[in-house]
């Protein structure tokens, strides 16, 4: 099946499932689309006992899509730029230090806590796995997913100060988490020696700092170009060119494309930059264009996540490990947020139960699945893919549907 046909099928399913959700279920789009797609896929599996035609067609689509490459190398840049573009820059600046700690120290702490806990659990379940591969799982499951978070928090009634912390953290820890994963992946493949250690630290610094620097340059170029003209058609195209061109440059130079796009989006979306470079009509069109891109890619992504269950190897012990991993991942996140929150709680007037709400509102999504798909078979890919899928499905459906109720329970209002 060619790329155009696959894209057509995915957009058709996104439109059909989106209509069903909006007309009947009335859930947040990310949750509704994922639930409907999972139910649809289960229905296809049941139908295959009588007629496998539909199942074969769905498997053909999944087998022709490199989910890891499509998400991390292509879709993610658009989604992160769109998310950063609509993030409150002034609130982000006020909360910058806790967000920085959440997305760096928090991710690293969670990686090692989750890795250590999963290593012990798998030993108990008689699933012996090397510790370094458990660390890889810790790295891929620790970052919260901005794509899932952004869509759900808008409907959860979370106060702006707290929303900024969760969204800001998810925008940045996504890029940091990918770099941490790639760093541990390199160690797992090559082992540890003096040369490897140097290369690992070099890769980490190059990806993180180089990505942020590239994003700052792209954002500044966008600002200067848009300031010199007043044509909303061309200005929208300039932002699109920045994302697409910046992603290609980041991959060529081995820089973090996610961090570059977040940085560029924050600069272009900054109120001061908007006021001096965009007319009112340009601002409206830029916002609406990226909002539409965000909605479209989100819909396709969560339909794909639902369909990815076809590639899983469901074994009893794998599913049990996934179910046990759910509370483990949540507890490790709670612990990893404890220090940053307590350092800044009084100074920045954190709302009550910030740690609890950030733990429950820190959703996992497609990025974790994409990284799990990037594991090799000798890294216990099938096992960690099932565990990741179970955690992600629980996170998006159970946590996503209840985070608003958790906020209401503690009477935390804007």
Mean pLDDT confidence for 295-323: 93
Give the per-residue pLDDT at 159. 76
pLDDT digits (tens, 9 = 90+) for 216-251: 999 999 999 999 999 999 999 999 999 999 999 999
In a domain, 28, yes or no: no
Mean pLDDT confidence for 65-88: 91
Length of the chain: 414
In a domain, 374, yes or no: yes
What percent of the chain lies above the pLDDT cut of 90?
68
Rounded Cα distance, 236 and 225, in Å: 11
Structural domain count, the chain: 1
Mean pLDDT confidence for 47-65: 92
Rounded Cα distance, 231 and 229, in Å: 6
Evaluate if residue 151 carries a pLDDT over 70.
Answer: no
Write the CA distances from 23 to 38, 213, 291, integer angstroms: 18, 44, 21
In a domain, 348, yes or no: yes
DSSP states of 84-146: HHTS-HHHHHHTHHHHHHIIIIIHHHHHHHHHHHHHHHHHHTT----HHHHHHHHHHHSS--H
Mean pLDDT confidence for 208-214: 94
Write the CA distances from 334 to 135, 150, 288, 316, 347, integer angstroms: 18, 20, 36, 28, 20
Evaluate if residue 67 carries a pLDDT over 50.
Answer: yes
Mean pLDDT for the chain overall? 91
Are 243 and 263 in contact, with CB atoms under 8 Å apart? Answer: no
Rounded Cα distance, 112 and 107, in Å: 9
Which two three-digit tokens encode residue 119? 């290593």
Higher pLDDT, 195 or 40: 40
Give the per-residue pLDDT at 54. 92
Rounded Cα distance, 125 and 269, in Å: 49
Higher pLDDT, 300 or 158: 300
In a domain, 262, yes or no: yes
In a domain, 114, yes or no: yes
User: Hunting for tokens 């799982």 — which residue is that?
Assistant: 137
Supply the range of the domain harboring residue 375. 67-409
Give the per-residue pLDDT at 155. 67
Evaluate if residue 46 carries a pLDDT over 50.
Answer: yes
Write the CA distances from 397 to 71, 134, 364, integer angstroms: 20, 25, 10
CA 141 to chain centre: 10
Which two three-digit tokens encode residue 108? 């690293």
Give the per-residue pLDDT at 414. 46
The CATH number of residue 159's host domain is: 1.20.1530.20
pLDDT band, very low/low/confident/very high, at 156 (cuts 50, 70, 90): low
In a domain, 7, yes or no: no
In a domain, 21, yes or no: no
What percent of the chain lies above the pLDDT cut of 70?
96
Give the per-residue pLDDT at 195. 66
Evaluate if residue 330 carries a pLDDT over 50.
Answer: yes
In a domain, 58, yes or no: no
Other beta carbons less than 10 A from residue 59's beta carbon:
16
pLDDT band, very low/low/confident/very high, at 84 (cuts 50, 70, 90): very high
Mean pLDDT confidence for 372-376: 93
Rounded Cα distance, 100 and 109, in Å: 14
CA 19 to chain centre: 24
């Amino acid at each position: 099946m060619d790329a155009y046909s696959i894209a057509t099928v995915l957009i058709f399913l996104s439109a059909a499932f989106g209509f069903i959700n909006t007309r009947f279920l009335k859930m947040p789009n990310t949750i509704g689309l994922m639930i409907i797609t999972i139910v649809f896929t289960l229905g296809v599996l049941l139908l295959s006992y009588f007629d496998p035609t539909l199942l074969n067609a769905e498997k053909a689509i999944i087998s022709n899509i490199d989910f890891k490459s499509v998400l991390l190398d292509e879709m993610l840049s658009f989604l992160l730029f769109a998310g950063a573009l609509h993030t409150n820059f002034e609130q982000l600046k006020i909360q910058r230090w806790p967000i920085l700690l959440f997305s760096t120290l928090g991710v690293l702490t969670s990686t090692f806590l989750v890795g250590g806990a999963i290593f012990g659990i798998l030993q108990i379940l008689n699933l012996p796995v090397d510790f370094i591969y458990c660390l890889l799982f810790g790295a891929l499951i620790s970052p919260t997913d901005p794509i899932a978070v952004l869509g759900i928090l808008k409907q959860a009634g979370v106060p702006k100060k707290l929303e900024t912390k969760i969204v800001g953290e998810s925008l940045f820890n996504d890029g940091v988490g990918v770099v941490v994963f790639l760093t541990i992946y390199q160690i797992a493949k090559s082992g540890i020696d003096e040369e490897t250690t140097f290369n690992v630290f070099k890769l980490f610094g190059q990806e993180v700092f180089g990505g942020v620097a590239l994003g700052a340059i792209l954002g500044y170029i966008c600002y200067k170009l848009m300031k010199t003209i007043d044509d909303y058609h061309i200005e929208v195209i300039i932002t699109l060119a920045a994302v697409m061109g910046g992603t290609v440059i980041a991959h060529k130079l081995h820089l973090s494309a996610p961090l570059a796009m977040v940085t560029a989006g924050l600069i272009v979306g900054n109120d001061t930059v908007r006021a001096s470079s965009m007319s009112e009509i340009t601002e409206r069109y830029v916002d609406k264009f990226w909002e539409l891109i965000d909605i479209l890619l989100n819909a396709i992504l969560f339909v794909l996540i639902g369909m990815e269950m076809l590639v899983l190897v469901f074994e009893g012990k794998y599913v049990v490990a996934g179910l046990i991993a759910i509370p483990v991942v949540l507890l490790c996140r709670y612990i990893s947020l404890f220090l940053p929150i307590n350092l800044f709680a009084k100074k920045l007037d954190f709302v009550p139960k910030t740690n609890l709400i950030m733990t429950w509102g820190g959703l996992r999504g497609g990025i974790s699945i994409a990284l799990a798909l990037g594991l090799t078979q000798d890294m216990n890919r099938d096992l960690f893919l099932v565990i990741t899928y179970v955690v992600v499905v629980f996170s998006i459906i159970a946590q996503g549907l209840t985070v608003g109720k958790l906020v209401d329970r503690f009477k935390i209002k804007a």
